[in-house]
Amino acid sequence: MLRSHPLARIMRVGTGVRWMSAYTPPQGDTSTSPRPKKVTIGHLRQLWRTKTPITVLTAYDFPTGRLCEKAGVDITLVGDSLAQVCLGYESTTQLTMDEMIHHCRAVARGSKLPFLVADMPFGSYYSIDEAARNAFRLIREGGVDAVKIEGGKDIIKTVAKLTAIGIPVMGHIGLLPQRHTVFSGYRVQGRLANRAASIVADAFALQSAGVFAIVVEAVPAPLGAYITENLQHVPTIGIGAGKATSGQVLVINDALGVAEWAPKFVRKFGNIGEKAEEGAKAYIQAVRNREFPDNEESYFMAGNEWRKFIHELGGSSTKSTWVDVTSNGEDSSESTASLNDFSLPTLAGFMEEADIVEVDSQESKLEEPISEVSISEEPQPEIPKPEEPKPEEPKPDESKSAESKPVVPPSQQ
């Protein structure tokens, strides 16, 4: 059994059981539920052979990646739709390789069990060498398992090269969002017979090049079913291609009701957008009404400790009116403390008393306090005033005295 395997070590924490892995099974069900494993291409093929629909959701960061794993999807797709969904770009063509790798890393940290696929951004695969270099970056730096490329017969050589050197590739046909300018917008593809035949040819070409799956986007449901039934080795993942495809993919923001607008083929399986807005507005209102945080959401300290704290600051306590609440929800007679109940010294005064002020010069110690509040309750010693200097007596003018004396010639001296 799995639990007897030496690698299936566990440690007990209290009464619960924790598996030594990134995945923690639900408590109380560890004896009967098999340990989840990493989804592989072999697992996806098994689902396809047994006609079990394959589930795919997009993810763009750690929280959505984690959500995909907890929900149990088979494939997590880091779609280039993150350009519009997360980054606010007008189209997917503005997304860069560095931005894609950044988001892939975040998703990979949260979505470890699903098979992880990343879109190759626009312009990153239109030469074989460049495609190989960027695909290697997505796998090595982004941490993904495979890459997805939009196109059909025109990218066969690139797909064949990537699969030949060991890089799994998912194809994408029908509506190609990266080429929306050529298609004059995001329009349903394959409604005309010749265009439908071209899409089918793209699917067979990708199958021969070695893709492990093909996304079929925005085509008539009968065409999606036809492609799925006639491909012999590759499952199809539909998005706006009917329910007969081998699996389905949706943008997670569309599926959970985050986006304000969604295409026709989207069904909202949640209403997170509206609920999130309601929650944000409720938070703002609670803050402005001072209803948040309340006592249960706040931390307290014993009244005697608060008084010690105030004493350390050199403040004086007055009658307190705010009673601290103890852990059992009862008022504590000793826990009475409020910032409004004390006369606090200035911050500058406290820092000087704590001897943590860096004095740049002797003159800075002689600066006057910024507040009239006393720094300490102890009386300050009086500084004696310097004695005023006595006025000096005027000295006699020697020049005048010399002039008043008669000049005696040397001969008479």
Q: What is the distance between the terminal CA atoms of the chain, rounded to a whole angstrom?
A: 140
pLDDT of residue 184: 81
Q: What percent of the chain has pLDDT over 70?
A: 68
Catalytic annotation present for 217: yes
- 238: pLDDT strictly greater than 90: yes
Q: Where are the domains of the chain?
A: 12-255, 293-343
Tell me, what amino acid is at 155? I
Query: How many Å is the Cα radius of gyration of the chain?
Result: 40
Structure tokens that stand for 58 in this block: 């997009």
pLDDT of residue 259: 86
Tell me how far CA of residue 134 lies from CA of 119, 126, 147, 148, 318, in angstroms: 11, 11, 10, 12, 70
**Which of the residues 69, 130, 217, 398 is marked catalytic?**
217
Highest mean pLDDT among 197-201, 263-267, 345-349, 399-403: 197-201
pLDDT of residue 55: 98
Better-scored residue on pLDDT, 410 or 215: 215
Once rounded to an integer, what is the mean pLDDT over residues 244-273? 94
Averaged confidence pLDDT in the chain = 80
Calpha distance 263→277 (Å, rounded): 22
Model confidence over 266-308: pLDDT tens digits?
A: 999 999 999 999 999 999 999 999 999 999 999 999 889 988 8
- 246: pLDDT strictly greater than 80: yes
CATH class entry, domain 12-255: alpha beta
- 130: pLDDT strictly greater than 90: yes
Model confidence over 75-113: pLDDT tens digits?
A: 999 999 999 999 999 999 999 999 999 999 999 999 999
Task: Write down the pTM of the prediction.
Answer: 0.70
Angle at 97 between CA 107 and CA 141, to 5 degrees: 55
- 334: pLDDT strictly greater than 50: no
pLDDT of residue 318: 52
User: Please, which residues have CB within 8 angstroms of residue 93's CB and are 6 or more apart in sequence?
Assistant: 83, 122, 123, 178, 181
Model confidence over 196-237: pLDDT tens digits?
A: 999 999 999 999 999 999 999 999 999 999 999 999 999 999
